[in-house]
Structure formats: structure tokens, C-alpha cells
Amino acid sequence: MRVVIQAPKGTKDILPKEIYKWQYIESVIAQLCKEFGYKEIRIPVFEHTELFRRGVGDTTDVVQKEMYTFTDKGGRSITLRPEGTAGVVRSYIENGMASLPQPIKLYYNITAYRYENVQKGRYREFNQFGVEAFGAAGPSIDVEIISMVDTLFKRLGLKGIKLNINSIGCPSCRKEYNLKLREFLKPLLPELCPDCNNRFEKNPLRILDCKNKNCKSMVKQAPALLDNLCDDCRKHFEGLKEGLDNLGIEYEVNKNIVRGLDYYTRTVFEFISSNMGAQDTICGGGRYDGLVESCGGESTPGIGFAIGKERLLMEIDSQGINIPEPGGIDIYIASVGEAADRFAEKLVYQLRNAGIVAEKDLMNRSLKAQMKYADKIGATYTIVIGDNEIESNKTVLKNMKTGEQKDVSLDSILNRLKNKNSL
């Protein structure tokens, strides 16, 4: 009995019939990043596990429950990247980018891996576009980063996307806030889930981001960090709002946003869609001023965001936005006989080198079958080459869309296709 091996749960093939949509959004992203001064970086698929423990945070669901971690043949603990920021920070430190003119502005397109419950728009292997900026401490870079996402969505034609912002302060703010939060949470501990109980001492802020429905409802009345900011953090947040107002970017202040990773400080933000049900966040990001230092570098401010491409494409589809399909086959050359096939082989080679999309028979089909194939692949033009055509140096150029036919010389095919006005 034949056993068919299937793709692992939580992974998805991106087939040729849909890849053009991915290529389109990636081209828009690349152009956007160029205009905003962000340069591409490519980082390893796997890193030492310690990087994510230190960078993402031991108390997060990502580290506690979702990472793909294994021991390699050298006895080292290795993890498939669950997100992009920690790897970029490691690269920033390791490659001495702190000595370069600041700020350092980077972007990436990556696959990432998390052992999550598989649902619509959420996979265990997923594709992410992200941006990271290092070295700028003031709110201006926060404004630029958010405006970048806003511009991307506008260029893609997306509507109804709302920006939510918040500040979760700095370690100084949190020290006092955590005392208030623990005081609020302590009576609730018997009713909170085991994970929240474990987080109570280590990082009570993580309890506010718990996905358990019961925990979510019980902490709704918890004191907000936004109401407990120090003067510097409050000033930073006011600067962010002033900058967004200056650009005419609408936003809502949402005190409940804390984001799911431990490295965030001060500014956190999410872009929310009303079209995707429970999976309504299509972009999330924030500032992480202590992350470079926690990963072994010098104290360096940083900020970034990430967008899941699967969710972005779902949003595009849900809004009925049409992504243009690329052009198909310019010309199909049908051949009859061995000599004609050799002639067609050379002609196709010449056409392709001139930038023309050309195909010929590779399956030893009959002429009738070749013409049917040309129609199926959407060839704009066809020609037939046999012994008579080679001898006379003439053939018939047929427009497969209109049915129009023209007698042409074989020598002129290349120039005619390059200059479509002559067809």
C-alpha cells in the first residue's frame, strides 16, 4: 500500500496559483522600506535557546509553551526562531552595528515557528515582515515606525484598520506599579489559572496578557500602567500622540495593550481590523529600550513591529482587494518534427534572453495537443514551425485572444514581440 506523506500540522504550501499575491505584497514592502530608509537583514532560522529566554522572556507563553527547541549533535540547546526581534538584536550586537551611524534601521522577511493551536490565519510555521530601529530614544522614531505601517496599509488599499496605542512605562514605573498590581491580584489568585499564579511573583504584568477567558474577565478592573507612569514616560507618550496628531494619523489609547513579549517598554501599539473576528490584530509592535543590554550589548534604545503575512493576505481577501496577476506566456512555439524542434529550441532561447516569456513543447505532443496546451497556459501568441516553415522562413503568428492571424518571417518574430505595436 502506498503511503502518502503529508505536510506537518500547522504548515502550509504556498502554491504557484497564489504566490503572486505574496510577491506583490513583498514588492510593496521592499519599496516602502527603501523610501523610509530601512535596509534588509537576513538572520538564521535557529538560534541558541538562551537568546530567546533572555530576549523574549522566561515568563512569556512563547518561551514557556510554544518554542520548537532541541539539542543538536554538539549537545547545544537550539531553538527555531519564534519571532524576529531577538535575532536582529543579536546580530546588531555581534556585528558591531553600534559603531555605525545611528539610528540603525532594518527590516526582514522571515519564517517563524511556534507550537500553537492551529486555526484560521494562525500556523505553526508562519511568515512575518518586521522592522527594527536602534539608537533613537525620543518619540519621533515611534511616530515614524507607526506611520510606516499606516502607509503600508493605505498602499495596499486596506480600510477600517484602527490604531491602538498605549505606554507600559519603564522599569522604574513598573517597580511601583507591580506593587499596586500584586495588591489587586492577590485576592484573585485562587481563581486565576496556574500560569498566572506562577507569574504573580516573577512578572505580574504578564497576567494582564493571559489568554484564559476567566483570567481576562477577572483582571479587567486592574489598575492601568498608563495611569502610573513616571514623568519621563508620560512625556514620551505625550510626544508620541503629538507626532501622530501632526501627521493626521488617527488612534485610540487602549490601556489594556501590554503585548505578549517581556522586552517591551514605553510605547506599545496594535493595528486592529474589524473584518477578522477573533484574529483581529494584524500588526503589533513597540519599544524595547532594555533588550540590547539584556542580550549582552550596551544600553541602546530600540523599537519595531511585525506583521504576519498570512493574516495580512486574509485581510486583503476579506476586503475584496484585487491583487493584479502577473502577465502569462507571451508566445508558445509549436513544432513538428525533429529539425523543427531544434529550431524552436534555439528560438525560445533567443526570445527568453530578450526578456520575452516563451515556451515550447517538452512532452513530444502532437500538434493538436500542443495547441490545446498553449490555450490552457494562456499563451498570447502561437506559431507553428515545421519543415516547410524552416525552408520558407515564414510562419503564421496567431493571437490566441482575438483569433487574428498574420503571416510573418521567422527572422522577425523576435523584433515583433519586442515591439508589440507591430503585431
Check whether residue 301 and residue 356 sit in a common domain. Answer: no
Check whether residue 310 and residue 343 sit in a common domain. Answer: no
Distance CA 265, CA 288 (A): 5
Indicate the pairing of strand 77-80 with strand 69-71. Answer: antiparallel
SS (H, E, C) the chain: CCCCCCCCCCCCCCCHHHHHHHHHHHHHHHHHHHHHCCEECCCCCEEEHHHHHHHCCCCCHHHHHHCCEEECCCCCEEEECCCCHHHHHHHHHHCCHHHCCCCEEEEEEEEEECCCCCECCECCEEEEEEEEEECCCCHHHHHHHHHHHHHHHHHCCCCCEEEEEEECCCHHHHHHHHHHHHHHHHHHHHHCCHHHHHHHHHCHHHHHHCCCHHHHHHCCCCCCHHHHCCHHHHHHHHHHHHHHHHHCCCCEECCCCCCCCCCCEEEEEEEEECCCCCCCEEEEEEECCCHHHHCCCCCCCEEEEEEEHHHHHHHHHHCCCCCCCCCCCCEEEEECCHHHHHHHHHHHHHHHHCCCCEEECCCCCCHHHHHHHHHHCCCCEEEEECHHHHHHCEEEEEECCCCCEEEEEHHHHHHHHHCHHHC
Residue 278 has pLDDT above 80, yes or no: no
Residue 138 has pLDDT above 90, yes or no: yes
- Higher-pLDDT residue of 315 and 57 is 315
Q: Residue 274 in contact with residue 160, Cβ under 8 Å?
A: yes
Q: What mean pLDDT do residues 301-308 have?
A: 96
Position 31 scores a pLDDT of 98
Confidence of residue 420 (pLDDT cuts 50, 70, 90): low
Confidence of residue 261 (pLDDT cuts 50, 70, 90): low
Residue 399 has pLDDT above 90, yes or no: yes
Q: Is the residue at 177 inside a domain?
A: no
Position 422 scores a pLDDT of 53
Residues 152-206: tens digit of each pLDDT: 999 999 999 999 999 999 988 888 888 888 888 888 888 888 888 888 877 787 7
| Alpha carbon distances (Å) from 60 to 4, 128, 264, 306 | 37, 19, 12, 17
Q: Is the residue at 218 inside a domain?
A: no
Q: Is the residue at 8 inside a domain?
A: no
Query: 407 pairs with which residues across the strands?
Result: 396
Of 285, 318, 351, the residue at which a domain comes to its end is 318
Farthest-apart Cα atoms in the chain, separation: 95
Check whether residue 391 and residue 300 sit in a common domain. Answer: no
Check whether residue 162 and residue 243 sit in a common domain. Answer: yes
Angle at 32 between CA 28 and CA 33, to 5 degrees: 120
Residue 58 has pLDDT above 90, yes or no: no
Burial code (b: 16+ CB inside 10 Å, e: under 16) for 358-371 equals bbbbeeeeeeeebb
For the chain, what is the domain count?
2
Name the pTM for this structure.
0.88
Q: Is the residue at 365 inside a domain?
A: yes
Choose the most confident range, by mean pLDDT, from 15-24, 177-186, 205-214, 270-279: 15-24
Q: Is the residue at 122 inside a domain?
A: yes
Position 380 scores a pLDDT of 93
Cα torsion 193, 197, 203, 205 to 10°: value is 40
Residue 29 has pLDDT above 60, yes or no: yes
Task: Give the sheet arrangement for strand 77-80, strand by strand.
Answer: 46-48, 77-80, 69-71
Check whether residue 305 and residue 366 sit in a common domain. Answer: no
CB half-sphere exposure, 409, CA atoms < 13 A: 4
Check whether residue 38 and residue 135 sit in a common domain. Answer: yes
Of 318, 340, 355, the residue at which a domain comes to its end is 318
Distance CA 200, CA 195 (A): 9
Residues 281-300: tens digit of each pLDDT: 899 999 999 999 999 999 99
| Domain containing residue 356: CATH number | 3.40.50.800
Distance CA 209, CA 207 (A): 5
Indicate the pairing of strand 281-287 with strand 358-360. Answer: unpaired
Of 284, 318, 352, the residue at which a domain comes to its end is 318
Q: Is the residue at 298 inside a domain?
A: yes
Q: Is the residue at 31 inside a domain?
A: yes
Residue 51 phi/psi, 5-degree rounding, is -60, -45
Percent of the chain whose predicted confidence (pLDDT) is above 70: 97
Residue 56 phi/psi, 5-degree rounding, is -80, -40
Check whether residue 296 and residue 377 sit in a common domain. Answer: no
Q: Which of 39, 42, 52, 134 lies closest to 93, judged by CA?
A: 134
Domain ranges, residue 396: 331-422
Check whether residue 266 and residue 411 sit in a common domain. Answer: no
Check whether residue 302 and residue 390 sit in a common domain. Answer: no
Percent of the chain whose predicted confidence (pLDDT) is above 90: 70
| Domain containing residue 105: CATH number | 3.30.930.10
Distance CA 67, CA 220 (A): 29
Q: Is the residue at 207 inside a domain?
A: no
Check whether residue 237 and residue 314 sit in a common domain. Answer: yes
Residues 87-137: tens digit of each pLDDT: 999 999 999 999 999 999 999 999 999 998 888 778 999 999 999 999 999
Q: Residue 251 in contact with residue 241, Cβ under 8 Å?
A: yes
